[in-house]
Amino acid sequence: MSSDPELFDKVVNLCKRRGFVFPSAEIYGGFRSTYDYGPVGAQMLRNVKDAWWRSMVQMRTDVVGLDAAILSPPQVWEASGHLQNFTDPLVDCKNCKNRFREDKLDDPNTCPNCGETGTFTEAKQFNLMFETQAGPVAGSGAQAFLRPETAQGMFTNFSNVLNTSRKKPPFGIAQVGKSFRNEITPQNFVFRTREFEQMEMEFFVPPADAQEWYEYWCKERFDWYLEHGIPEEKLRLRPHDADELSHYSSGTSDVEFAFPWGWDELEGIANRGDYDLRQHAEHSGEKLDYFDQANNERYTPHCIEPAAGATRTMMAFLMAAYDEDEVNDDTRTVLRLHHRIAPFKVAVLPLSKKEDLIPTSKEVLALVQPRYMSDYDETQAIGRRYRRQDELGTPLCITIDFDTLDDRAVTVRERDSMEQERVPIEGLVGYLSDRLD
């Protein structure tokens, strides 16, 4: 496993330098581990979420989408168990006054900040949910929470979806969106933040088939990361030990990535039994089950949940794609991103700013822009513009030069090999489609 502390700094610097991720409210000194996604970061994050949605919803007939509210009443979190149990153990160091999550300490008696031993307070259970109030009047009925996961929206809408989508078990409900956790120690850039995005799916199955579907989704989700360009040696599927499992789970596995600090979670796949639907049925008084007409039986479906982080996965894609190679005695930085994840698929680059080249360059842009997210850049030496696109992970650069005016062909340069090929403008769309679709 690679452990490259320099890689972390290099990726964080690249993110700032090229407009992937900025510290939030930076002009005011930043705000507590929150981040803003810049022009290329916003595009890349969108691509991560689109790639997930494509695999999980678009390409399947047994999963439908949902976009549920972020604000929710306490009843939801009472039923789900979050109000009582969504806590982390918090300890204070009496010497340096820093706070830590006890379960993440290498040594539970030694402060990692000041190095003193035996200075921790007793662990307190700290609830991670952000609480707020809906409406101008405080008091009962106004209490609200920002969701700490997207999953509960799928359980509370189980009947709505069942009654409107013509699906029956086995079927899933998928959602992508923001979640909020008041993490005690947000850390490692966008790996652990208080505001983040999740990509979650609840897959409802007949109880007898739950184990089989659990294994199916473990494989399916692991393969998704491979298909989108993370090398196999940087990924592993780690089944939880019995003492790590929540009381309702009969199996959980994490997809882990080799981050610069070690293996860490990208996604958890859990066999949650009928816990969630039963809890909500009990607390709401509504029936949340399924009547199987073929077998004349009513049952509460069991649920398999693949729960991934979009922002955390974007960071893993960046870490896995970052590379440096030597070109003409110079170090080239390149993001070897899968084309579906890369912010731009193509860059249209007139060789120079000379006026003769601009109409044809704009013609080429008009051809590719409706089909592929494209960058257009006409200033600086062409070599520097190629380097910039390499750092953004753009798979293909299209250069319009003076020969283009005679032969109506452009040069297409491939990011990883840097090989160049002459392609007629007339055949360009077909050529790009072979490479990118």
Question: Which residues in this chain contact ligand ATP in the complex, by CB under 6 A?
Answer: 149, 181, 183, 192-193, 196, 198, 265-268, 307-309, 311-312
Q: What are phi and psi of 115, to 5 degrees?
A: 80, 0
User: Cβ closer to ligand ATP: 251 or 268?
Assistant: 268
Q: Which residues pair with 22 in a beta bridge?
A: 36
**SS3 of the chain:** CCCCHHHHHHHHHHHHHHCCEEECCHHHCCCCCCEEECHHHHHHHHHHHHHHHHHHHHCCCCEEEECCCCEECHHHHHHHCHHHHCEEEEEEECCCCCEEEHHHCCCCCECCCCCCECCECCCEEEECCEEEECCCCCCCCCEEEECCCCHHHHHHCHHHHHHHHCCCCCEEEEEEEEEECCCCCCECCCCECCEEEEEEEEEEECHHHHHHHHHHHHHHHHHHHHHCCCCHHHEEEEECCHHHCCCCCCEEEEEEEEECCEEEEEEEEEECCCHHHHHHHHHHCCCCCEEECCCCEEECCEEEEEEEEHHHHHHHHHHHHEEEEEECCEEEEEECCCCCCCCCCEEEEECCCCCCHHHHHHHHHHHHCCCCCEEECCCCCHHHHHHHHHHHCCCEEEEECHHHHHHCEEEEEECCCCCEEEEEHHHHHHHHHHHHC
Q: For residues 352 and 40, is the Cβ–Cβ distance under 8 A?
A: no
CA end-to-end span of the chain: 32
Could you tell me how far CA 318 lies from the centroid of its own chain?
11
User: Cβ closer to ligand ATP: 112 or 141?
Assistant: 112
Give me 318's structure tokens. 């960046």
Round to whole Å and give the CA distance between 242 and 255: 17
Phi/psi region, residue 399 (left: phi>0; alpha: psi -120 to 50; beta: rest), is: beta
